[in-house]
């Protein structure tokens, strides 16, 4: 048996057993930066999706400028804006990242998913990692001038073994209110377009290997990328309660619909409702939830941002059975979720973190990113 010379010689399977014990983003940085062999072990760790469910997302505040004279002021000829970055598990640690000023001021934000910012204008769109500065530019869209891209997402992380796809959803004004989906397999040379007619898809989540889409009327569909791009109706009994600002959230083995209970919204209190989709019945039906047990949810105030569910909040001092939601007025609001029937728990404001804001025609919209 070869003799171990030091920390760098630890076997990969032993290092893999350490990774799920890491309790914060800073722990991950320290682990991956120890040496080349540890970095390789983290890169090859097979269950990063599980790790993402154990840690809170990193939060960025582009509207809060941070002085960082040791960092470059420009990259590839573009001036950089240094933003405040917060790790909820270490809120007192000073962190930051950089975003090109051009993106914040003049580009259209269309989505945030799998740790990447999706932005662009007209027919040119890009994928940006705001932590490393890495940028990917797909081919130009072959859309008409009257086509507006209103949201986008990445199907999987760029480092995933499964080939990621960039999906952009568009609305064409001529003819009136016609919608379509553009699909770009990352690294390919062309887009595929799927005409959706009057169906306006607003959200897509990856749930147990399937992509579930929801339109503006809360109808559900299954999106198929292969062997050809298509959507299929997911027959569902309508949710029995009126929700506003709805999100689809993959939470463990549950698909949730979360939103404000319309009939219970008060001037100072917000009641939160949550339902999970029971797919064992035909058609599938929404079932009210009373508790999330050890889970907590993270939502932005914009459905174009990827929602998160995290388990075992005690790892870093957070709270379970709660919903953390970004807002324009406050850094975080913490909301008890369905502690009583029909979500009579109320909002409890608490400055626990902050949000990542990106430009939409010059206005700030909140979102947040996961980097694992």
Question: DSSP labels for 153-182?
Answer: EESS-TT-SSPPEEEEEEEESSSTTEEEEE
Q: Which of 371, 331, 336 is nearest to 354 (CA)?
A: 331
pLDDT for the residue 213: 94
Residues of the chain with pLDDT under 70: 1-5, 49, 175, 239-241, 261-271, 301, 312-317, 326-372
Q: Which of 177, 57, 47, 75 is nearest to 134 (CA)?
A: 75
CA 309 from chain center: how many Å? 10
pLDDT for the residue 168: 94
Q: Which of 95, 142, 151, 103 is nearest to 123 (CA)?
A: 142
pLDDT for the residue 71: 85
Strands (E), 54-140: 59-65, 74-75, 78-86, 95-100, 108-113, 116-121, 124-128, 135-136
pTM, to two decimals: 0.80
Peptide bond into 354 cis (omega under 30): no
pLDDT for the residue 315: 65
User: Which H or E run contains 285?
Assistant: strand 284-288
DSSP designation for 62:
E
Tokens of 58: 């990193």
CATH class, range 47-367: mainly beta
pLDDT for the residue 351: 27
Residues 263-302 pLDDT 10s: 544 544 556 788 999 999 889 999 988 888 888 888 776 7
């Amino acid at each position: 048996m070869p003799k171990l010379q030091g920390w760098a010689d630890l076997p990969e399977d032993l290092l893999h057993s350490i990774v799920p014990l890491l309790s914060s983003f800073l722990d991950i940085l320290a682990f991956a930066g120890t040496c080349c062999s540890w970095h390789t072990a983290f890169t090859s760790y097979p269950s990063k999706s599980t790790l993402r469910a154990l840690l809170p997302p990193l939060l960025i505040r582009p509207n809060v400028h941070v002085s960082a004279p040791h960092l470059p002021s420009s990259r590839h000829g573009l001036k950089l804006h240094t933003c405040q970055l917060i790790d909820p598990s270490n809120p007192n640690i000073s962190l930051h990242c950089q975003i090109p000023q051009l993106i914040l001021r003049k580009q259209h934000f269309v989505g945030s998913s799998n740790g990447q910012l999706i932005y662009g204008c007209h027919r040119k769109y890009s994928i940006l990692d705001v932590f490393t500065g890495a940028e990917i530019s797909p081919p130009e869209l072959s859309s008409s001038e009257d086509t507006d891209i209103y949201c986008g997402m990445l199907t999987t992380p760029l480092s995933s073994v499964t080939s990621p796809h960039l999906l952009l959803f568009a609305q064409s004004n001529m003819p009136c209110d016609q919608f379509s989906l553009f699909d770009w397999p990352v690294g390919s040379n062309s887009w595929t377009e799927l005409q959706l007619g009057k169906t306006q898809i607003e959200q897509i989540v990856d749930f147990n290997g399937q992509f579930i889409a929801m339109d503006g009327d809360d109808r559900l569909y299954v999106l198929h990328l292969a062997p050809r791009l298509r959507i299929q109706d997911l027959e569902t009994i309508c949710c029995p309660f009126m929700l506003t600002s709805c999100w689809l959230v993959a939470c463990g083995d549950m698909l949730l619909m979360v939103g404000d209970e319309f009939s219970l919204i008060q001037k100072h209190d917000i009641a939160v409702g949550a339902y999970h989709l029971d797919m064992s019945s035909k058609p599938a039906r929404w079932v009210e939830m009373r508790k999330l047990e050890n889970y907590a949810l993270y939502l932005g105030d914009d459905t174009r941002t990827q929602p998160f569910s995290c388990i075992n909040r005690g790892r870093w001092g957070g709270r379970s059975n709660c919903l953390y939601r970004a807002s324009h007025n406050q850094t975080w609001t913490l909301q008890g979720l369905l502690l009583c029937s029909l979500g009579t728990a109320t909002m409890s404001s608490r400055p626990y973190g902050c949000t990542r804001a990106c430009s939409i025609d010059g206005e700030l919209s909140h979102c947040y990113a996961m980097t694992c």
